[in-house]
Structure formats: C-alpha cells, structure tokens
A and B are shown apart, each in its own frame.
Chain A
C-alpha cells in the first residue's frame, strides 16, 4: 500500500515535469504562445513542449473563444488524448464567454463540456501569466489535485448531456 502510494507520487512528479501540449489553437490567445515558447520566456525549461497530435499530448490548451463548431472537434480531440490529461482554459472567453457572451455561435463556459484543470484569466494573459499558470498546474499535478480526466470519466453522462445540449444529438463519441 505504501509502495503504491510512493509509486504514484513518483509518477506524478515525473508527469508534472514533462508536459506536452497540443498544437490545436482554437482562438486568438494562441498568439501569446510563440513568445512563451521562444527565447524570451522559454517554456521548455519547465519541460513543456509543443506536440502535433493529441495522441502524444498531455495538455489541451483552449486558447480563447470556442465556437460551437470547434467545440465538437475539441471534444473529439480530447477523447483521443491519453490519460492522464489536462485541459487549460485560456483567457476570459473560456470562463464566461468574455466579449462573446451573447454570440449565437460561441460557448460561454468551457467547464460544462470539458473538465478544466486550470484557468488563465485575462484578455489575453501575458506570457508571464501563462508561465505562472503552468507552474501552478505543475504544482497541482505533483500533488495529485489535477484530476479532471478522472472526473470526466466518472461523470461522463453529465458531460455528454451538456455537450449534446450545445451541439445537438449528432455528437460523435469514440467509445
């Protein structure tokens, strides 16, 4: 029992310091990522690197507003990622809709559809804020608090219900 806990702790520490994020930029916040990744702020020193496919990625970044049409793809992509996996909501649009709060085609709150582990507030958050946010995420992962993927698995029906409400019944699910 103790060894299992220790093993889990080690795994979490390893996971926290090796985060691959998916290159699936959905909104305007993606423009803040290049400075975060390149020389000035250098995200790689935290062990965070961009990845091209959801199969290899650990973090799904939702960078800003998310239209309903994109949400369908994002859900599909999220389900293709392998757990443990984390969702980071980026900018105020993912929190409450932001300036698109009354749009007929963008969603208001991401947390209803995907289990968000970390929100980065701002419109848009500066690279410093992003780095700060990621450090917070690493901390959460190391402590085992970032368990959105487990929550998604356990409360699948609730999430599916919300997704269907927003997207209609023709939502494609993988399993």
Chain B
C-alpha cells in the first residue's frame, strides 16, 4: 500500500464523511476516526519503504515516497489526527458547521500525508497550499474575531508560499527537475550564491510557518480564535510543517548539519546557521516573556509555541548529531504536549465557555482528568525528568554544553525556567484556586474527549520512561540521511558527557514518592475542609463567593515580573505601525489589502499567479 493510494482514499473518504455528517454528525466523526485509524494501520502494516507516483496528466505526476527520513513525521501526523478526531466525536458538539468541519479536517489529514510523503517539491507545495486554504476556512469557523485572525494567517501563509514557490523555481532552473533525488544527484552543480538564495527562501518560509520570532505574529490570534480542536491540529502538526521544510532543505543543503562530520566545511560554507541559531535563542526568550504576560490560556500556549519553535530551530541549526536528534524529538514532544494542553483547555472551554484565566478557577474538583492531562503535559513541556519533555531538552543541552555556546545555553535555560512560570499560570488560575459559584455544577467532558486526552497522557508518560521507542526510528533516520547516529537504547541515552537512564530516574522518583506516602500515612488523618475556610486574618469570606474574582488570585499573576518589562516594545505593534504608515502612503493598494471582504485579495492572488505562470511558460 503506497502513500498515493492512501491519499486517494483520504480524498474519497472526505466526501463520504461530509455526506454522512450531513446526515448525522456524530456518525461522520466516528467514521473519520476509523478512516484515520485504518489508513494508519495500512501504512504501518503494509507500508514498504518505496516511492510511488500519482499521475494527473500525461506528463505531470505527483511523486510520493515512504522511507526512513519521513516515516516518523508521517506517524506523528497520523497519530495526532487520530487523537484529535477521537476528541472531536464529542468535542465539536457546539460548532456551527459540523459536516464542513469534518470534511475540512479530513482534507487536512490528506494534506499531512501529502506534505510528509512528498518526493518532489511541487507535490509538497500543492499539499502545503491545500493545508493553508483549508486551515483558512477552519480558523474562520472559530470565535468572535476569527475572520480577522484567518486573514492574518492567510496573509502570512501566502508570503511563505511565495517564498517557497520562488525557491522551487530556482531549483528547477538550476538542476532541471524538482524531485528530491534529482536535486541530490545534481547538488554539486549549483553555485554557492544560488544555494544561499534557495536555502534562505525555504528557511524563511519554514520560519513563518513554524512561528519563529519575529515572524510569529499570526500565531497569537490564529491560536486563540480558531475552534479548539483545530487549534490542537494547528499547533500539533501544521506548525511542524515549517520545521519539516527546514529539516528537508537542510538534508539537501548541508549547511545546517554536519552531514559528514566536517566542521570546517560548515564554517566556511555559510554563516547563516549561526544567525538562525541566535534567532532561535531570541525567539525562545521573547516567546517566554510574552507567554508569561498573557491572560488568555490559549494565547499563552500560542506564545509558548513561539518559544518552543525556537528550541526546534536551535536544535536544527546547531549542527551536531545530538542536537539534530534532540530537535526531531522536540518536534514530537511539542506536538504531544501542545496537543495535551490545547485539548484540556478546549475541554474547559467546552464546559465553561471561556478561556480567560482570571474568570475561571478551582475546576480540578469538576474535571480531574482534564486537569491530569494538563498537568502531565506541562510537566513534559517544562522538561521535568520522568516525562518525555526532559529527553529532548537533555539532548539539546548536552550539545550546547559540549560546544560551550553560552548565549544559546542562556536562552535555552531561560526558556526552560520561564516555562515553569507560564505553564503554571493556567494550572493555578483555571484548575486550582477558588471556584466561582457559577462553575459549581460543571461536569467532566464526555467519554470520547476523555479518551483523546487519556491517550495523550499515557503516551507522554510512556515515551518519557522508555524514550528508546521514539529514538529508534530517529536513529534509523539519521543513518539513512548519513548523519552519525546518536547512541541510545530503550531507556538509556549516551552523550559525550554523560549517560542518562530514564528508567532509573523514574524508579527513584517512584520510590521517593512511595516513601513520602508511607511517612504521610503514618501520622494522624487530616480532615477535609471547604474551600472558603481560609486564613484571612480572621475575616470570614463565604459572602465573597458571589463575586468570583475577588478572592481568586489570578489577575496580573506576574505583576512584579511584568513591571520589569513595562517599557519594552512589541513586535506586533511595530508591524502594525509600519502597516499604518504604508497604508497611509499607498492609498490605492490599501483598497486591495484592507478590503472587508476577501474577494479583492483573492483576485489579487489570482493575478499574481497568472503573472508568475505567464512569465514561466511564455
């Protein structure tokens, strides 16, 4: 079973799912989950490492491949989609256009298969664009300001697409073909300056999609305004497209990685990789600080994604085998944790109708499983040992330490410690603290949403204890693309500096916990008290319960910290100022760009495409 057949199946199924959903949306969503499961199963069971073609016209065909270098991404995409789809069986109950939602997410699945399975750049581009357009419609199905967010998303994605298509044309010009194998064979014939141009175009496109500072501006609004289950896909997979592109282009243009362990070559070839590593460091710091200062839980996670995009970029551009493996692992870590965080915040939104941290509180009593998912995810995200997130961070740190990069290490540590601050805020504000009276009767989410969250939780713990499960395919990936593989067994990791044994860490932690439990149980049993029985300097509070936010400390949680950054500029405001200046200078163009409806914009895009095609073929 090759990828091309799977993609065709997904395409056909999207129509069927749409029809079924029209009839009964729940059945449609279940069908969607089953479809994803079956496709995943076929890929796992029958998939042989091979290439395939899908002919469209006589001489134009889409090329696909399934091999070591992309299998881990394929499985990541499929599993994220399965989990989200499972979650959606109950989770999309409140959405307005359920059949369309199911249809579009199935198309997203198809584009995931296409992008990760592509064997030439045009195929990659086509599915990439499919994803952009489908995402555009999906984002605009969300909350109040989602139309505006979708427009910004589309605008940024379009820039990425233009950059990428230009890069593809340059490759085609230089080597006379756009398949990956063609590029590898004729790599030597490309001149240095052209290499630099192509690399820059692709990397910039990837950075926009990956949401690295200062190109992150679409993320905040798109994440917070889009429908909740789609946000999980957006951060779990679609954001990773950008890094897949960087990873891919890095394979062909060995500037970022030491492909054959030749550091001198790296330095002479291009200074850009250092530049991008530093950009990544800045991205980590800015994303962290911005995330700390947010009040909306989804916006907070969006900025945390900026920070973690920085980690991935740092690992990819850093240039050691360990860092590279750490980067790929971090993609998985971030996909899993972002999934867990967005699903649990989505579950909170499902029941309470808000994601503002200071309006919520004390939900752990009502939604224990949601809380557990969130807790495990944030522990993993912050990189605390027995869980998955520690593995990737450990690998990235090890490579930073080996090479003594102080600023980058500083940035990485800053992001890591800062992540305690921002991940703890929703935990404290949403799940812990005092529960307002109006949320007293909130229930735990329905079964399928629970199931989706449970899977994420279990996977995070499992991969943390046995990182070898994930590292094995990464090792074979490294072997296949010619990098010296890292050394790892099922639960052991070896760097040049030291050994990490996750099983020992986990066991010792478990033993410590059990010992603590024994000591705890030895002494007198505590009495449970109500939440308003507090030390309040003698004042009595039950009356205050009618005013929820008075006694729940969630507003301005890091006020002292934010005072340090009072006078710092914001990149988004800078762009906005620039845009205002431009729009006042170019009044005519403004009419196209700032049209309330998007017709004018689509018209503009079509014209641009026509012009590009005309230049190319005539």
Question: A-side interface residues toward B, CB under 8 Å?
Answer: 24, 53-55, 70, 72-74, 76-77, 80, 172, 174-175
Contact = CB atoms under 8 A, between A and B. Distances in A.
6 contacts: A54-B535, A70-B538, A74-B538, A76-B540, A174-B533, A175-B527
Given A77-B538, A172-B540, A172-B542, 16 more contacts: A24-B538, A53-B535, A54-B535, A55-B535, A70-B538, A72-B540, A73-B538, A73-B539, A73-B540, A74-B538, A76-B538, A76-B540, A80-B533, A80-B535, A174-B529, A175-B527
A80 B537 CA distance: 11
A126 B36 CA distance: 81
Contacts, number: 23
A53 B538 CA distance: 10
Interface in B533-548: 533, 535, 537-540, 542
Contacts of A74: 538
Interface string B593-605: 0000000000000
| Dominant secondary structure at the B interface | loop
Contacts of B540: 72-73, 76, 172
Nearest to B534: A80
Interface string B518-540: 00000000010100010101111
Contacts of A53: 535
Contacts of A174: 529, 533
Please name the 5 residue pairs, one residue from A and one from B, whose CB atoms are nearest each other, closest first.
A73-B538, A53-B535, A172-B540, A77-B538, A174-B533
A29 B542 CA distance: 31
A73 B538 CA distance: 5
Contacts of A80: 533, 535
Nearest to B535: A53
Contacts of B529: 174-175
Contacts of B542: 172
- Point out which of B527, B529, B538, B542 has the most chain A C-beta atoms below 10 A from its C-beta: B538
Contacts of A76: 538, 540
Nearest to A24: B538
A14 to B, nearest CB: 13
Interface string B135-152: 000000000000000000
Nearest to A23: B537
B523 to A, nearest CB: 11
A70 B538 CA distance: 9
Nearest to A171: B540
A175 to B, nearest CB: 8
Contacts of A73: 537-540
A59 B539 CA distance: 19
A85 B559 CA distance: 38
Contacts of B539: 73
A54 B535 CA distance: 7
Nearest to A80: B535
Contacts of B538: 24, 70, 73-74, 76-77
A174 B529 CA distance: 9
Contacts of A175: 527, 529
A12 B537 CA distance: 29
A54 B539 CA distance: 13
Nearest to B538: A73
Contacts of A24: 537-538
B528 to A, nearest CB: 10
B534 to A, nearest CB: 8
Interface in B170-184: none
Contacts of A72: 540
Contacts of B535: 53-55, 80
Contacts of A70: 538
B392 to A, nearest CB: 41
B530 to A, nearest CB: 8
Nearest to B536: A76
B540 to A, nearest CB: 5
Nearest to A26: B538
Contacts of A172: 540, 542
